Amino acid sequence: MSVSTLDIALATAWRPNVGDTLTGAVAHRETRTTEYGTYPVIYIAVDGGEQLVAVHAFHQTLLEGFKALKPQRGQFVSITYAGEKDSNTRKDSKGEPVSYHHYVVVDPDATVEETEMDWDDPDF
């Protein structure tokens, strides 16, 4: 998969609404630095490679999802924005839960391993 600098410059930034899913092949990755820090931008080829979408991975769950999946160029990924969630562990200065943007990054072809469940196993 070949991506030109013009393709990257013209890529549309993904601005999802709750429940939106983006599925396509990883075409390119670069790093951006802003006043808020450094983060990766992952370019996803969608519509059979006709369109390039830039996914700015500055939200923690999005970044962690990409780190866990470790997609390579050409690999298909599926990203779903699940909306804002309240943290179970982090609180603000007033003791209120801190909200965060929740993303799920998966291999769209992956399946759940079907194994027999041992309910007598004492490890849970």
pTM of the model: 0.80
Range scoring the smallest mean pLDDT among 9-23, 29-43, 60-74, 100-114: 100-114
pLDDT band at residue 75 under the 50/70/90 scheme? very high
The pLDDT confidence band at residue 2, using thresholds 50, 70 and 90, is confident
Question: How high is the pLDDT of residue 88?
Answer: 76
Mean pLDDT of 71-92: 88
pLDDT of residue 93: 82
Task: Report whether 43 contacts 27 (CB < 8 A).
Answer: yes
Question: Which domains, and CATH codes, for the chain?
Answer: 5-106 (2.40.50.360)
Q: What are the angstrom distances between the C-alpha of 115 and each of 84, 118, 121?
A: 33, 9, 14
